[in-house]
Structure 1
Amino acid sequence: LDAELSYVRNDVVNHYALSFNLLIPSETNNLHFTWHAKSKVEYKLGFQVHDPMAMALPQANISLQGEVPRTLSVFRVELSCTGRLDSDVTILMQLNLTINSSKNITVLNFKRRKMCYKKLEPEVKSPTADKNSSKAIFDPVNAAPTTSTRVFYISVGVCCAVIFLVAIILAVLHLHSMKRIELDDSISDSSSSQGLSQPSTQTTQYLRADTPNNATPVTSYPTLRIEKNDLKSVTLMEAKAKVKDIAISRERITLKDVLQEGTFGRIFHGILIEEKDPSKEKQVFVKTVKDQASEVQVTMMLTESCKLRGLHHRNLLPITHVCIEEGEKPMVLLPYMNWGNLKLFLRQCKLVEANNPQAISQQDLVHMAIQIACGMSYLARREVIHRDLAARNCVIDDALQVKITDNALSRDLFPMDYHCLGDNENRPVRWMALESLVNNEFSSASDVWAFGVTLWELMTLGQTPYVDIDPFEMAAYLKDGYRIAQPINCPDELFAVMACCWALDPEERPKFQQLVQCLTEFHAALGAYV
């Protein structure tokens, strides 16, 4: 998929965008650039790599000098590693533009980084390789291609063999431990400069994805690791049995303020007395139900609370204890975070924005996104599918540390975020990927889609996505290629991250580890300009 990042728009150079040294995934070998000129503009194209032993000089599928096309066109730049050594290669693409043959030259420098790795077999040496200096500069007139077709095919064969061997080993290990997993080992040739995809921008309120790979509606989806919703098959007795080992006495819990309240559920700020030392106590969140709660609602609270149980990561907030004594309302306890629910916190920031515009910065918001992506990356590695990632299912403290929680009671506490599509089940329709809406299939890729929407929530300070779209029309709307509009004051680079999460094909969405790396670099760049 094409990832669009505007460097020149309406005859204005975006120097902010040009300042970024964007990381290219190691499996990405091609970059695609879209360009056109309103009037006659001549160009010269050149390349530079700092480590020619690790990467051959980039090749373009256009002439090295000429005239910028008057119609919207795409040219490709090939980045091929030599396979001689491991190196973090810096690439510079220089585009010199001259308007109407004048002496006024505009120079655009596009910076990229790519990790190149040494091949696992003896390298095929080129007689001219030793003559290269430590720095290769492209001569637009006299340069000749340096990429060997023979070496390229050998490298592809070696990569395929390694992938096949790794797949077999992983399959044997997982079968041995009786874990069910489906491996996705495909390596695609992405044309994104960040391994990300973005729909082409329009001036309408919503964006439509018209890139070549997703303009045609997708009718089937790779399953990756798929989960179906089976909560309704669990009885209250079974739900209590699953948490019996972390059950504690009601006497150790003191309820204080009500933090959130719904139709049948409540969240309290509570105090938990230490079992070994009654003089010590700690603050907790206490999720519980009202008297009118049905058995099904109680069962769902207990079952959904166990989603993150047993997982340990700095950006996750699993339950620690439960109280399921007879005659008492069931309670679920989680560690306390003093600024509470992330969605409510963001909306509070929006309310005070007029009086205190520096209350929360863009850099803070990106840092929150990185933390959420880190937590989700951990879940993906552990093969845990969240199914309901959103700002409402995260909490935050006064140090802006963000943690992902389960979705227990979320349907009750945020009823406007869930909709029933005629099958008696409330779903977070506006956060769901197309394959989840149509086929009820959930995977790490569908969690990535939800992360893109969550990132949009962060940048809008808690606004509701797709607020004007009928929930019953969401599937058709997404299938036609439409997405939420770019938030006001959201940088193009950050919106590109969101948009790539919304690719129709789950395999074309980035992995969470890629998102962590991309957002971390963007956060560092923001810090450099503060």
Structure 2
Amino acid sequence: MAGPGRGRGLALLVWRALMVAWSCCGSGSVCRASPGVNVYLSVEEMRRLIGLDAELYYVRNDVVSHFALPFKLLVPGETNSLHFTWHAKSKVEYKLGFQVDNPAAMDMPQANISVQGEVPREVSVFRVDLLCTGKLDSEVTMEMQLNLTINSSKNITVLNFKRRKMCYKKPEQEEKTPIYPGKNSSKDGRTTSIMRQQELVVEPEEGLVHDSVTEEQDVDDNDDQESMQVTDAGAQGSDLKELPGCNPEEERQNCVTQASKKSAYPTLRIEKNDLKSVTLAEAKTRVKDIAISRERVTLKDVLQEGTFGRIFHGILVDEKDPSKEKYVFAKTVKDHASEVQVTMMLTESCKLRGLHHRNLLPINHVCIEDGERPMVLLPYMNWGNLKLFLRQCKLAEANNPQAISQQDLVHMAIQIACGMSYLARREVIHKDLATRNCVIDDGLQVKITDNALSRDLFPMDYHCLGDNENRPVRWMALESLVNNEFSSASDVWAFGVTLWELMTLGQTPYVDIDPFEMAAYLKDGYRIAQPINCPDELFAVMACCWALDREERPKFQQLVQCLTEFHAALGAYV
């Protein structure tokens, strides 16, 4: 069994959504059957969960917290124990019971306290262990019931907690996997879930080299990625028609099928200036196979412009049939751009090359003819950059408050999580996930793009900390800021900030914090505040992404599941 502090990045998300059901206290907010009773997650437990110094109460001085959630959240496979703090000012008896719907997949939960007795008068902690049998793959529904009774009144307060947990079959013969520095294998011999085991690495230079990909790639003739066959896909058969290319059930199945293949996260350390070590000639060589004639491209309106870069709305003429045209984004540079800036535009544009998913937008072609400034072409999305779109929505809020709904924003978040889940399985680390690096169309379909030209087009989002490197400091995980270490877990951190951007309609995170103080600020446990009108449950998703220990952050598959269920719950009320 994993230790109490391991793999609990989603514990807050799970227990924050606990439904408090009570039978004899009526509809009032104060239950007289349990005087002076407190049941909560302590500061220490919260710090282990998400790195925040706060308490989360279920019952505070007899007042029961009610969260009207019509769905159950998933307990990640590696979360094997949960800790509660409780006490009462006077005599209160309790009874504790558990139920599971599939005993073959999960043992009956066990607590380190007796099944009945008195609530302690002094502050105490009890633990509930959730252990899978390892006999089969299954999603298990678990219920914990805590009854609180006062002898004098015989009134009973019933607290019901229902959750689901993913259990996985233990392989008959475990493969030998490398043990990475600082990561311990499971002490009891159980196979940890794929959420911990997925090995997420890229080659040096940010995974920019995808020339060895064997998939058919002709985005020019088939740039509608809806027709692509992708391995993680969910592009077909999804119950969520409004969420193209993402099937949560397949997300879970992908976790199961890969469970015996991977080990813990390795550390990827990106050396400074690694991109600048690439020459312009090398960058052009990498994209030579997708180069086309500049004559096929007509530039129209300028969509965005920076100091040395521009993004145009362009028209691409079909090579075989000149009568056929299609719109594209055309990224290029101005005449005064340096060779380093041109090289970085080309290399960073290759970050998603060779990858096919309906929520990714890799490059189509490039124009690299001698005597011309290089140009990068991507499929066109008619509402353009997601960050700019969100800010336009915020400006329009006063006149049209219903212009974009909370359900729409969660819908966008799910799509981003789907695309990032695909990248994680393909062992590609984005390193700069943010709304500025996403685009959207009029059907609210969102696609993740590379970060080429982002430093120039969104200069306020990047900062140099004295090392001649412009980095997205406000989106970076602590280990990335301090040690220059990146993994899918640091992408999860950035996703939490991106979700915050969505819920604030494009506001800048940590806007009042000096970039030079960000590392110390995060290390001390501080995070961005909960956005106005953001539900507690959605903020809990963000907060889980910001756990200091990267092993405690959720995986993208878990985020897809949680957000999909939250989206469905919103649909039931909106």
Percent identity between the two aligned chains: 84
Partner of 1:16: 67
Report the residue type matching 2:526 in the other structure: Y
1:157 aligns with 2:201: no
In structure 2, relative to structure 1, the CA distance for the partners of 1:279 and 1:383 (3 Å cut) is: same
Partner of 1:93: 144
| Selected match of 1:79 from 111, 116, 130 | 130
Cα offset, 1:33, TM superposition: 2.9
Residues 388 and 428 in structure 1, CA contact (< 8 A), matched pair in contact too: yes
Q: How does 1:4-83 map to 2 (within 5 A)?
A: 4=12, 5-6=15-16, 8=58, 13-16=64-67, 19-36=70-87, 42-69=93-120, 73-83=124-134
Partner of 1:409: 453
Pick which of 7-16 and 17-26 moved more.
7-16
| Selected match of 1:279 from 296, 301, 323 | 323
CA distance in 2, matches of 1:359, 1:98: 50
In structure 2, relative to structure 1, the CA distance for the partners of 1:244 and 1:84 (3 Å cut) is: closer
CA distance in 1, matches of 2:394, 2:476: 25
SS at match of 2:366: strand
Cα offset, 1:63, TM superposition: 3.4
Cα offset, 1:42, TM superposition: 4.5
CA distance in 1, matches of 2:383, 2:91: 57
Report the residue type matching 1:50 in the other structure: D
CA distance in 1, matches of 2:123, 2:410: 33
* Residues 26-64 of structure 1 deviation map (CA, whole Å, 9 limit, x = unaligned): 333212234456776553322222233443332222333
SS at match of 2:482: helix
In structure 2, relative to structure 1, the CA distance for the partners of 1:355 and 1:107 (3 Å cut) is: farther
1:522 aligns with 2:566: yes
Cα offset, 1:474, TM superposition: 0.8
Aligned residues: 445
1:308 aligns with 2:359: no
In structure 2, relative to structure 1, the CA distance for the partners of 1:340 and 1:100 (3 Å cut) is: farther
Cα offset, 1:118, TM superposition: 5.0
Q: Which consecutive residues of structure 2, in runs of 5 or more, have no partner in the other structure? A: 19-57, 173-185, 200-211, 213-263
Residues 42 and 101 in structure 1, CA contact (< 8 A), matched pair in contact too: no
In structure 2, relative to structure 1, the CA distance for the partners of 1:312 and 1:47 (3 Å cut) is: same
Partner of 2:443: 399
Q: How does 1:95-494 map to 2 (within 5 A)?
A: 95-98=146-149, 101-117=152-168, 156-157=188-189, 159=191, 223-229=266-272, 230-494=274-538
CA distance in 2, matches of 1:291, 1:120: 59
Pick which of 391-400 and 39-48 moved more.
39-48
In structure 2, relative to structure 1, the CA distance for the partners of 1:98 and 1:406 (3 Å cut) is: same
Cα offset, 1:68, TM superposition: 4.2
In structure 2, relative to structure 1, the CA distance for the partners of 1:241 and 1:88 (3 Å cut) is: closer
CA distance in 2, matches of 1:46, 1:222: 36
SS at match of 1:403: strand
In structure 2, relative to structure 1, the CA distance for the partners of 1:263 and 1:40 (3 Å cut) is: farther
In structure 2, relative to structure 1, the CA distance for the partners of 1:158 and 1:306 (3 Å cut) is: closer
Q: Which consecutive residues of structure 1, in runs of 5 or more, have no partner in the other structure? A: 122-153, 168-178, 180-220
Report the residue type matching 1:506 in the other structure: R
Residues 365 and 377 in structure 2, CA contact (< 8 A), matched pair in contact too: yes
Report the residue type matching 2:77 in the other structure: S
Residues 267 and 485 in structure 2, CA contact (< 8 A), matched pair in contact too: no
Residues 269 and 484 in structure 2, CA contact (< 8 A), matched pair in contact too: no
Report the residue type matching 1:157 in the other structure: G
Pick which of 453-462 and 492-501 moved more.
492-501
Pick which of 474-483 and 11-20 moved more.
11-20
Residues 95 and 146 in structure 2, CA contact (< 8 A), matched pair in contact too: yes
SS at match of 2:73: strand
Cα offset, 1:265, TM superposition: 0.9
Cα offset, 1:336, TM superposition: 0.4
* Residues 433-465 of structure 1 deviation map (CA, whole Å, 9 limit, x = unaligned): 111111222222211111111111111111111
Partner of 2:231: none
In structure 2, relative to structure 1, the CA distance for the partners of 1:27 and 1:240 (3 Å cut) is: same
SS at match of 2:94: strand
In structure 2, relative to structure 1, the CA distance for the partners of 1:280 and 1:119 (3 Å cut) is: closer
CA distance in 1, matches of 2:127, 2:498: 32
Q: Normalising to structure 2: TM-score of the pair? A: 0.71
| Selected match of 1:506 from 550, 553, 557 | 550
Residues 417 and 428 in structure 1, CA contact (< 8 A), matched pair in contact too: yes
In structure 2, relative to structure 1, the CA distance for the partners of 1:13 and 1:326 (3 Å cut) is: same
Residues 228 and 442 in structure 1, CA contact (< 8 A), matched pair in contact too: no
In structure 2, relative to structure 1, the CA distance for the partners of 1:491 and 1:321 (3 Å cut) is: same
Residues 445 and 507 in structure 1, CA contact (< 8 A), matched pair in contact too: yes
Residues 85 and 118 in structure 1, CA contact (< 8 A), matched pair in contact too: yes
Cα offset, 1:81, TM superposition: 3.1
* Residues 295-341 of structure 1 deviation map (CA, whole Å, 9 limit, x = unaligned): 22111111111111111111110110111222322211100001111
In structure 2, relative to structure 1, the CA distance for the partners of 1:42 and 1:464 (3 Å cut) is: farther
CA distance in 1, matches of 2:91, 2:382: 60
In structure 2, relative to structure 1, the CA distance for the partners of 1:248 and 1:87 (3 Å cut) is: closer
CA distance in 2, matches of 1:345, 1:394: 10
* Residues 229-256 of structure 1 deviation map (CA, whole Å, 9 limit, x = unaligned): 4111112222122212211112111111
* Residues 268-305 of structure 1 deviation map (CA, whole Å, 9 limit, x = unaligned): 11111111100000010011112221222111111111
In structure 2, relative to structure 1, the CA distance for the partners of 1:468 and 1:517 (3 Å cut) is: same
CA distance in 2, matches of 1:505, 1:467: 24
Report the residue type matching 2:362 in the other structure: P
In structure 2, relative to structure 1, the CA distance for the partners of 1:474 and 1:38 (3 Å cut) is: farther
* Residues 4-35 of structure 1 deviation map (CA, whole Å, 9 limit, x = unaligned): 34453656544435643221223332122344
Cα offset, 1:492, TM superposition: 2.2
Cα offset, 1:473, TM superposition: 0.7
CA distance in 2, matches of 1:473, 1:158: 41
CA distance in 1, matches of 2:492, 2:95: 39
SS at match of 2:376: strand
CA distance in 2, matches of 1:103, 1:401: 56
CA distance in 2, matches of 1:82, 1:40: 37
SS at match of 2:143: strand
Residues 18 and 109 in structure 1, CA contact (< 8 A), matched pair in contact too: no
In structure 2, relative to structure 1, the CA distance for the partners of 1:101 and 1:528 (3 Å cut) is: farther
Residues 316 and 403 in structure 1, CA contact (< 8 A), matched pair in contact too: yes
In structure 2, relative to structure 1, the CA distance for the partners of 1:53 and 1:289 (3 Å cut) is: closer
Residues 429 and 488 in structure 2, CA contact (< 8 A), matched pair in contact too: yes
Residues 383 and 440 in structure 2, CA contact (< 8 A), matched pair in contact too: yes
Cα offset, 1:261, TM superposition: 1.0
In structure 2, relative to structure 1, the CA distance for the partners of 1:242 and 1:18 (3 Å cut) is: closer
